[in-house]
Structure 1
Amino acid sequence: MFPFIKTRYYLKDFLPENYIDIHNHLLPGIDDGAKTTQETTELIAAMKELNIHKGIATPHTFNSKWNNTSQTIKAAFGIATKEKANKEFLKNYASEYMLDSSLIAKMKEEELLCIHDNFLLLELPLLSSPFNLYEMLFEIKIKNYKIILAHPERYFYLHNSIAKYEKLKEFGIFFQLNLLSLTGYYGKIIQKKAVELLENDLYDFTGSDIHSKTEINQFKTVKLQIPNKKKMEHLLLNNSIFLK
């Protein structure tokens, strides 16, 4: 475990001007995030208060659980952005895709929704690794997608060896830190792993993964203890490429 510095900061204090959030669940009624357009509007207003300037909506696409399609996501985005404030905040829509065989089949039939250009946001099962993980990643890569792996610090089966993370990086996978992981929101074990990955410069981008006001409160009420403030500030600036 890395030694913590004594100075503590709230998560909101780190967010740079014009920060764009590339991972959230703001679209109404299509996954475990916002349930109504009113809730979408309230969440966006609260995110602006955190200094989050723009957002790219990324609802789940998860076979047999959240069976979203490009059409359902587009429709929810259209409903959400009827409100002027929401339209100004939401730059685009994409999806957080669960990596499984159904996604590979979907990819062969249609283009997947990317957060920007060909950047594709993927998640893995939290508790057990797909047995053909690298085969599926390879199939996606040969379709010319750039893979961003959501919250790698949350996959317990990677925790026992930093080499597992390094292998994914060598395979060309980008890592997205869930900012909430640094607050201990998902537990101390995940918090420690997030700090370790941050200290080893393994993250490329960041995201809020906001579903509700509960997560937003973490940005304002929980103080962080991180070894290197400058590394955190530098990492947060990387998201600026998605504003273009």
Structure 2
Amino acid sequence: MIDIHCHILPGIDDGAQTLQDSVALAKAAVDNGITHAVCTPHIHFGRYDNTREIISQACTTLRNTLSDHNINLAISAAAEVRFDVEILSAIERDELPFLGEWYGDKILLLEFPHGEFPIGAAKLTRWLLDNEIRPMIAHPERNKGLLERPEKLSPLLEQGCLLQITAASVIGDFGPKAEKMALSLIAEGVATVVATDAHHIKRRPPLLQQAYDIVSKHQGNAIAQKLMVDTPWAIARSHFPGSD
């Protein structure tokens, strides 16, 4: 399986804090059936001011360490970018790393504030799309504003935005409301991928296989395969040359 949202790079956001933490998460991912991971540390302006260089260096360090430990997880890196007007200038300066590509568009993993659906969301996503950047909305099923009014997603879906659902939401680890919305978005056919959003080996481990089994039970194996293997690989394959 292919994981395109996780926080396993060491010491640069609220995910793995040490290289030892990163190795433990990577080993758990492999044990869970994950073969490739695009690591997506936060870029949250004013809080996690990560850059391409910082992220790339952390990824190289972890990649070399995984090789030393014979842990067969292929990794690359992008970012989970918090909704902010500063995204526009960062894009214009070519400072943001992308998840990959989708039908010719670059894919940006875009995170909304957890407590609300931000005013102006559709304007930002429209600007991104007009600039051949397709937003993938991170974990919409965990956003309080969308849980209260899921219809607010409709304009973004009509624009062509993609949705990333959290595996732990499918499993039920984020509560019944998030679980219900996650399964509903999958059943409606509007979810694009399911990913782990793993942060911590005990509190938020990589549990993609468990989500795969649940989706397969409710929607069939073909849908589970699409959400956790085929589509994430189609998006991220440019990160892993020679892996086809």
Normalised to the residue count of structure 2, the TM-score between the two structures is 0.83
Percent identical pairs in the alignment equals 25
Alignment partner, residue 216 of structure 1: 205
Asked if residue 113 in structure 1 is aligned to residue 97 in structure 2, the reply is yes
Alignment partner, residue 241 of structure 2: none
Question: In the alignment, is the contact (CA less than 8 A) between 2:30 and 2:72 conserved in 1?
Answer: no
Distance 2:116 2:161 in 1: 19
Distance 2:187 2:88 in 1: 33
Asked if residue 240 in structure 1 is aligned to residue 228 in structure 2, the reply is no
Count matched residues. 226
Alignment partner, residue 191 of structure 2: 203
Question: In the alignment, is the contact (CA less than 8 A) between 2:28 and 2:206 conserved in 1?
Answer: no
Distance 1:29 1:156 in 2: 28
Asked if residue 94 in structure 1 is aligned to residue 94 in structure 2, the reply is no
Moved more, 224-233 or 167-176: 224-233
CA shift, 1:132, in A, is 1.3
Amino acid at match of 1:178: T
Alignment partner, residue 8 of structure 2: 26
Q: Cα deviation per residue 1:151-205 (whole Å; 9 max; x = unaligned)? A: 1111121234443223211111011111110122111111111111111111011
CA shift, 1:224, in A, is 4.9
Distance 2:224 2:22 in 1: 28
Q: Cα deviation per residue 1:1-20 (whole Å; 9 max; x = unaligned)? A: xxxxxxxxxxxxxxxxxx11
Distance 2:27 2:43 in 1: 25
Amino acid at match of 2:22: T
Distance 1:90 1:57 in 2: 10
CA shift, 1:88, in A, is 5.2
Q: Secondary structure at the match of 2:164?
A: strand
TM-aligned CA distance change 1:218 to 1:121, over 3 Å = closer
CA shift, 1:80, in A, is 1.4
Question: In the alignment, is the contact (CA less than 8 A) between 1:120 and 1:147 conserved in 2?
Answer: yes
Alignment partner, residue 3 of structure 1: none
Q: Which has the higher contact order (CA 8 A, sep 6+)?
A: 1
Amino acid at match of 2:15: G
Question: In the alignment, is the contact (CA less than 8 A) between 1:205 and 1:236 conserved in 2?
Answer: yes
| Superposed counterparts of 1:130-141, under 5 Å | 130-141=118-129
Alignment partner, residue 13 of structure 1: none
Distance 1:206 1:194 in 2: 9
CA shift, 1:236, in A, is 2.3
Q: Cα deviation per residue 1:105-140 (whole Å; 9 max; x = unaligned)? A: 222222420111321111111112221111111222
Question: In the alignment, is the contact (CA less than 8 A) between 1:28 and 1:76 conserved in 2?
Answer: yes
Question: In the alignment, is the contact (CA less than 8 A) between 2:3 and 2:228 conserved in 1?
Answer: no
Gaps of 5+ in 2: 239-244
Gaps of 5+ in 1: 1-18
Moved more, 73-82 or 156-165: 156-165
Distance 1:151 1:56 in 2: 16
Q: Cα deviation per residue 1:77-104 (whole Å; 9 max; x = unaligned)? A: 1221221158852432100000111222
Question: In the alignment, is the contact (CA less than 8 A) between 1:20 and 1:243 conserved in 2?
Answer: no
Distance 1:221 1:54 in 2: 17
Q: 1:164 aligns with which of 130, 147, 152?
A: 152
